[in-house]
């Protein structure tokens, strides 16, 4: 059995002390690949250097909506250069975040639109981050023809209508630790109704650790608990969940040098 953690932040200071051990534990829990996701230029560079250190680590590069205020024309060309690295499999995470609202909305729109176009230029899928901005994210993806590039709506927290609409456009939705939280009935409903063929799994480590590790630092090995919960909801074995979600991730991200 193999699982792919499609979204983690291994460059963050939470992993500075013990990343070797963290990744050894994840290997022991059948995690065959981890995609470490950039949030700004410096973390995107760190993500790439981690892919050079660890065979099974791959990277996405991009500017998170929190950092969109710093996105300029030169950011586009810097990202383009970084994305030419053979282990960069996606542009992300990109999108809109009106919950923490750390960048003015106009700057978030600009960075999001620019990076959709960068992904199209490079032929790489996009990793979408969205908090309290679903209709705006949807509108921009439509206007910029972002769905045609292919991608994933990470840490999906929308309702079944949004999930079905994304899937109809050819997108995947990614399920994280929130699915194990007692109050996440709506998300469990989405997982129950949506075919596994449209689902990816992720930890978003070091954030959002699943039950029974909730409140602790999250790490890729905890993906196992998320896969178990998805299997329970779908009334399938964890092996089936692993097989299909791994196939989905391989199909979207390619993982080719």
Binders of Zn ion among 64-93, rule CB under 5 A?
Answer: 93
Q: Closer CB to Zn ion, residue 48 or residue 231? A: 48
Does 33 engage in binding with Zn ion (CB under 5 A)? no
Least separation in angstroms between CB 129 and Zn ion: 4
The encoded tokens of residue 213 equal 């590790």
Cβ–Cβ under 8 Å, residues 199 and 245: yes
Q: Closer CB to Zn ion, residue 5 or residue 93? A: 93
Least separation in angstroms between CB 253 and Zn ion: 15
Does 188 engage in binding with Zn ion (CB under 5 A)? no
Does 129 engage in binding with Zn ion (CB under 5 A)? yes
3-state per-residue secondary structure call for the chain: CCEEEEEECCCCHHHCCCHHHHHHHHHHCCEEEEEEECCCHHHHHHHHHHHHHCCCEEEEECCCHHHHHHCCHHHHHHHHHHHCCCCEEEEEEEEEECCCCCCCHHHHHHHHHHHHHHHHHHCCCEEEEEECCHHHHHHHHHHCCHHHHCEEECCCCCCHHHHHHHHHCCCEEEECHHHHCCCCHHHHHHHHHCCHHHEEECCCECCCCCCCCCCCCCCHHHHHHHHHHHHHHHCCCHHHHHHHHHHHHHHHHCCCC
Q: Considering only 65-73, 126-134, 162-170, 191-199, which stretch makes contact with Zn ion by CB under 5 A? A: 126-134
Least separation in angstroms between CB 173 and Zn ion: 13
Q: Considering only 77-85, 122-130, 191-199, 233-241, which stretch makes contact with Zn ion by CB under 5 A? A: 122-130
The encoded tokens of residue 18 equal 């013990």
Q: Closer CB to Zn ion, residue 40 or residue 93? A: 93
Q: Closer CB to Zn ion, residue 218 or residue 245? A: 218
Q: Closer CB to Zn ion, residue 3 or residue 236? A: 3
Binders of Zn ion among 88-117, rule CB under 5 A?
Answer: 93
Least separation in angstroms between CB 65 and Zn ion: 9
Task: Note the residue count of the chain.
Answer: 257
Q: Closer CB to Zn ion, residue 107 or residue 197? A: 107
Least separation in angstroms between CB 98 and Zn ion: 13
Q: Cα–Cα distance between 195 and 177 in angstroms, integer? A: 19
Least separation in angstroms between CB 206 and Zn ion: 10
Q: Considering only 52-60, 127-135, 160-168, 233-241, which stretch makes contact with Zn ion by CB under 5 A? A: 127-135
Least separation in angstroms between CB 240 and Zn ion: 27
Q: Closer CB to Zn ion, residue 45 or residue 192? A: 45
State the residues that interact with Zn ion by CB under 5 A.
93, 129
């Amino acid at each position: 059995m193999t699982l792919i953690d499609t979204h983690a932040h291994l460059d963050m200071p939470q992993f500075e002390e013990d990343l070797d051990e963290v990744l050894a534990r994840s290997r022991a829990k059948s995690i065959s690949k981890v995609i470490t996701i950039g949030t700004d230029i410096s973390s995107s560079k760190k993500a790439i250097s981690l892919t050079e250190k660890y065979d099974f680590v791959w990277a996405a590069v991009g500017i998170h909506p929190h950092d969109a205020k710093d996105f300029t024309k030169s950011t586009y060309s810097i990202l383009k250069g970084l994305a030419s690295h053979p282990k960069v499999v996606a542009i992300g995470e990109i999108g809109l975040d009106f919950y923490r609202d750390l960048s003015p909305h106009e700057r978030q729109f600009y960075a999001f639109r620019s990076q959709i176009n960068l992904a199209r230029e490079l032929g790489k899928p996009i990793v979408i981050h969205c908090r309290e901005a679903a209709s705006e994210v949807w509108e921009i993806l439509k206007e910029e023809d972002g769905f045609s590039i292919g991608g994933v709506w990470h840490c999906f927290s929308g309702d079944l209508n949004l999930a079905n609409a994304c899937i109809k456009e050819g997108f995947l939705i990614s399920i994280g630790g929130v699915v194990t939280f007692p109050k996440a009935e709506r998300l469990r409903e989405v997982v129950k109704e949506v075919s596994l063929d449209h689902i990816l799994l992720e930890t978003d480590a070091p954030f959002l650790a699943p039950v029974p590790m909730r409140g602790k630092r999250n790490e890729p090995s905890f993906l196992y608990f998320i896969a178990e919960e998805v299997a329970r909801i779908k009334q399938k074995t964890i092996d089936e969940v692993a097989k299909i979600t791994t196939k989905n991730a391989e199909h979207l991200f390619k993982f080719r040098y």
